[in-house]
Each structure stands twice: as C-alpha cells, then as structure tokens.
Amino acid sequence: MENEIVKSQSERQILDMCIELMHELTGYFEEYLEWQGITKEDYEPFGVSLSYFEIVQTLFLFHTSHSGGTSTMQKCRELGVDSSERVIFKVWEEEEEEQDE
C-alpha cells in the first residue's frame, strides 16, 4: 500500500476546478450579503480580475524556482490557456442584472 499511486485530475482540470471554486465562493459571499439584508441597490458592487498568468503562477509555480515570467508563460501554454486572458470574480454579476430586467 505504501507505494500505491493515488490518481488525481490533470493540472488543467485542477485549474478549471479552482476557477469554478472561486466563482462559487463569490456566490456564497452574495448569499451572505443578502442574509445580512444587503441588496444590490444598497451595495457598491466590486470584483476582482485575475489573469491566467496570475492564477497559474500562484497555483502551480508559487515558491518554486520556476516562478518567473518565462516559466509561467510556458506553463500557461502547457495548460492551453492564454496567459493574458482575465477571469473576473464579481459580486452581483451584471449578467444577473440583465436577466432580472
């Protein structure tokens, strides 16, 4: 048993799941604000925009000898993502507001 390999998801699946979890966390924050009686009208919306470069560097290369820009760009290519593309995590996303109309 000691040498048995535990299989897990691919690095790309881990990246996608981490982004999904961050979106889910944003949704929980919205629920918390609503539980506190705060509505979209009462609250100044905010969001965080992270590039794949920043996400990949933090998830896969943070505190390694490969945490520089060149290595991060290469890792983004390996994962099949555009390092400059941004992922936005926003409370009360605009899409929801458009659906309400």
pLDDT bracket for residue 34 (50, 70, 90):
confident
- What is the reported pLDDT for 97? 46
Domain count, the chain: 1
Q: 68 lies in a domain?
A: yes
> Is the predicted pLDDT of residue 75 greater than 90, yes or no?
yes
- What is the reported pLDDT for 101? 46
- What is the reported pLDDT for 98? 46
Q: 77 lies in a domain?
A: yes
Q: 20 lies in a domain?
A: yes
pLDDT bracket for residue 13 (50, 70, 90):
very high
Reference 34, options 44, 47, 25, 43; nearest CA is 43
Domain region containing 79: 11-92
Q: 34 lies in a domain?
A: yes
Q: What are phi and psi of 69, to 5 degrees?
A: -65, -40
Q: 24 lies in a domain?
A: yes
> Is the predicted pLDDT of residue 96 greater than 50, yes or no?
no
The pTM of the full predicted model, rounded to 2 decimals, is 0.76
- What is the reported pLDDT for 3? 83
Mean per-residue pLDDT, 70-86? 95
Q: 65 lies in a domain?
A: yes
Average pLDDT of the chain, as a whole number: 86
Q: 97 lies in a domain?
A: no
For residue 49, what are the contacts with CB-CB under 8 A and spacing of at least 6? 86, 87, 88, 89
